[in-house]
Structure 1
């Protein structure tokens, strides 16, 4: 943290970040203890390790932090604030106020260093913790007021700057299940470790909005290990609830992703995305789905397919069925064009069958289906809605 010093004061303010130690790097050195050259190499390495304070381990496996590590969004930033009386006389009414300034707000942090009396050489401090919830540059503003032995009031401030970066990157994709009546929505979440160290992803949960129920398609294990730049994918299915919504497809608010992780040394972090929004599928007034179609058929032998037309609007539709034979030369319709499908109330559907005759070998697409809205005189065209193999 950058400390912007003020003028000389009787009270000295110290702010130190508290962080867990890190694993010490271990390098295996193979030497022969009976070889004179090997012993010299081993002694030199041991002496160099002791002389370099940055490599002196706490115990056998961990090192004390040697520099100000990155602070990531979702972590708990913990620091120690200490006031030291470096003068020769007692000071009274020592009060410390701590604020955290971000790009969007200034937030006071809890600090109980209030109304202290410090004799010469005495110090008092407090540990302050704050969950970081915003990216970008942060400024820790520490204001100190006190009275000297002569009764004069003194005041100074110190500023500590530090950046906050993203530990993970989340990319989402939506898939609309348009071939069923449930209006299910599938969410794919790709989570990448963008930090500089290992993390254990302990929780990835989709908290749906009030309009949906959520189920994980690929439930994650209790913990997923992510090295830097590693990516993991998670898939969720959202099913609309019955809240009296006339058209569930119009609901675009899906919910939020809640993620929780731990670093290699057990430091916890947690992030929640902003509300996820999907683009509602544009069905128009009608939607046609294939309910049953054979995979293979025999040439010049009739077969049947079952179709379902959905009324996706809020008014009744009077529909008529016709065919465009030019769009489908390999299959002949063996049913009457211009057939009425009748009245279809809002948000309901009707099933109907078609008898077809394949006349060309190979893969053939089912195309040329036209549904006319008699009242509005509008035609809905459906091509390539299914394929069959003719042999």
Structure 2
């Protein structure tokens, strides 16, 4: 009651389930009466027969009795539980009170919810009468909560109004008093998530496996009582479908959950792990690229449980999402000039040793260049001309490889198999060329590790002899020269010059025929770039066919999948790759390189044959893949 001046009083009590009363009982090792009493107790662990080597009486460790008691304190409120409270309005005077009404609100830091409104101007509470009501509210927020109760009534005739309790200055008989009950809400569960994406090369090249998201959820019981989970359901966001991997398929219509039965009970501070697989509803041939820092919503987790005394609880988490990582910031350049930086201390002098390095790639062969056989020295090297040939521009074509159907369980040793593949080419639509067709020609090149000898078996090359004059034995002598070498390029040039005009004409015809077939473009060596040949993996799956596959000309269209206009020019080209395994076990298949040899814009009057008659351009590498598939080879 808010002071003796008010004729009405308000009492608020939280409604909760009763608990088992605990009582201490003495322990007797040999007593028929106490033993019979202990055996009859429903909370005792004692059996009907005595335990061998132990006393007859065995008390329960919790010391719980068969009596039920109501909680003496307000207790704790957990997020997801339903708060229930009983409100009681008592008329403390011997006269009737008219206009009795009550308004109950639940206030948080962000919301205000009206739980109940009772009474009005016509409501009357008789003398010594009581009005009771129960309100319920599902707790959905953490932090401080306030249960606000406001009671309004009219004073009986000839009653003195309390000071400062008038609701309206014009109506002094209308009185109001308020009560506030504060309590804190804690979190019963700790929900932590981890997002995983496919990393294997075979999954990244499959549209069905590339965009999968593996959501790992860790749930911990933060309360002091065990919890029995009734439902653990993931509601995916728009555009996703979910596959629950926590279901054990037993072959019947009602599959059993992984944590069911006795496993559904989670003890305090226990942690459980749930895994969900999310798949996008729409799959595109080209992978979707997200900007760094983008947040992709995945869905919510709906959890229902019951406490140790059967009190229900339900928790709907916030939207679980995937965040695209932001690359680390580049290291800023030093503001100190290079000539002011402190030089490294000189190393300890050692005896000179012969450095053994792997053989480098010889320089490009230029026929007819006499400087290849001419001995050079440090003083004979001239500075290069500043007017160098510009490198070809980087093409704006994006290429992606897709494996349509990779065989899995039908691969055997020395049995050829085929992997159907597709190339997805895309390029932005350039302004001013919307009405032109873009025609490209690509070459698919199979890559393999460089074939070199091991360092231990390689014969070290003799050290180069320094160019210094030898002391002659007499006044007149002939200077010594290096070992003679045969210049194959110069000899080939002389043979071509000595050939007859008829032979030169036949060579021109053969060259034109090869140009029609697209074989005149010089291709790079079919080796992995940047791979250490001494640590390259052993090849257990061999490629069948030519190392370079010339695909037919590909025309890029600026149309979407349903014929609508887009800002991208897209084309798809299918081809097949054949392999044969040589060893059993797990093996990787690869690699592959895509080279661009032609890229032209054609008008409406141009034909596909014009791409050959207009000449050829140097081959440019679009993309490389070290591994295109992973297979298991059976014997």
- The structure number with the bigger radius of gyration is 2
Task: Give yes or no for contact 1:73–1:165 (8 Å, CA) kept in 2.
Answer: yes
Q: 1:369 aligns with which of 582, 592, 606?
A: 592
Name the SS for the 2:75 alignment partner.
Answer: coil
- Structure-to-structure mapping, 1:1-391, within 5 angstroms: 9-10=5-6, 11-25=8-22, 29-31=26-28, 60-115=66-121, 116-149=123-156, 150=159, 152-177=173-198, 178-179=203-204, 180-182=206-208, 183-219=211-247, 220=257, 221-222=259-260, 224-241=264-281, 252-279=296-323, 286-287=400-401, 291-292=406-407, 306=419, 308-309=421-422, 311=424, 319-322=442-445, 323=447, 325-326=527-528, 327=531, 329=536, 330-331=538-539, 336-341=546-551, 343=554, 346=570, 350=574, 352-353=576-577, 355=579, 369-372=592-595, 379-383=622-626
Task: Give yes or no for contact 2:149–2:179 (8 Å, CA) kept in 1.
Answer: yes
Distance 1:248 1:333, change over 3 A: closer
Task: Give yes or no for contact 1:13–1:83 (8 Å, CA) kept in 2.
Answer: yes
Q: Distance in 2 between matches of 1:237 and 1:214?
A: 6
Distance 1:344 1:124, change over 3 A: farther
What's 2:612 paired with?
A: none
Task: Give yes or no for contact 1:193–1:226 (8 Å, CA) kept in 2.
Answer: yes
Q: How far is 1:16 from its partner?
A: 1.0
Distance 1:293 1:91, change over 3 A: closer
Name the SS for the 1:112 alignment partner.
Answer: strand
Q: Distance in 2 between matches of 1:280 and 1:61?
A: 57
Name the SS for the 1:20 alignment partner.
Answer: coil
Q: Give the TM-score, by structure 1 length.
A: 0.73
Distance 1:148 1:292, change over 3 A: same
Task: Give yes or no for contact 2:286–2:424 (8 Å, CA) kept in 1.
Answer: no
Q: Distance in 1 between matches of 2:285 and 2:590?
A: 30
Q: Distance in 2 between matches of 1:320 and 1:307?
A: 16
Task: Give yes or no for contact 1:320–1:371 (8 Å, CA) kept in 2.
Answer: yes
Q: How far is 1:84 from its partner?
A: 1.8
Task: Give yes or no for contact 2:407–2:631 (8 Å, CA) kept in 1.
Answer: no
Distance 1:218 1:314, change over 3 A: farther
Task: Give yes or no for contact 1:92–1:117 (8 Å, CA) kept in 2.
Answer: yes
For structure 1, the 5+ residue unaligned runs are 39-54
What's 2:614 paired with?
A: none
Q: Distance in 1 between matches of 2:622 and 2:114?
A: 63
Name the SS for the 2:576 alignment partner.
Answer: strand
Q: Which has the higher strand share?
A: 1
- Larger displacement relative to structure 2 (89-98 or 5-14): 5-14
Q: How far is 1:268 from its partner?
A: 1.0
Q: How far is 1:278 from its partner?
A: 3.1
Q: How far is 1:234 from its partner?
A: 2.2
Q: Distance in 1 between matches of 2:20 and 2:623?
A: 65
Q: How far is 1:76 from its partner?
A: 0.9
Distance 1:153 1:347, change over 3 A: farther
Task: Give yes or no for contact 1:294–1:305 (8 Å, CA) kept in 2.
Answer: no
Name the SS for the 1:162 alignment partner.
Answer: strand
Q: Distance in 1 between matches of 2:408 and 2:304?
A: 45
Distance 1:310 1:211, change over 3 A: farther
Q: How far is 1:366 from its partner?
A: 5.8
Q: How far is 1:238 from its partner?
A: 3.2
Task: Give yes or no for contact 1:214–1:236 (8 Å, CA) kept in 2.
Answer: yes
- Larger displacement relative to structure 2 (162-171 or 313-322): 313-322
| CA root-mean-square deviation | 4.5
Q: Distance in 1 between matches of 2:173 and 2:230?
A: 55
Q: Distance in 2 between matches of 1:56 and 1:74?
A: 30
Q: How far is 1:127 from its partner?
A: 0.2
Q: Distance in 2 between matches of 1:318 and 1:208?
A: 43
Task: Give yes or no for contact 1:254–1:278 (8 Å, CA) kept in 2.
Answer: yes
**What are the Cα deviations for residues 169-224 of structure 1, in whole angstroms up to 9, with x where unaligned?**
22233333535432443333222212221111111112233433333222125551
Task: Give yes or no for contact 1:22–1:265 (8 Å, CA) kept in 2.
Answer: yes
**How many matched pairs?**
364
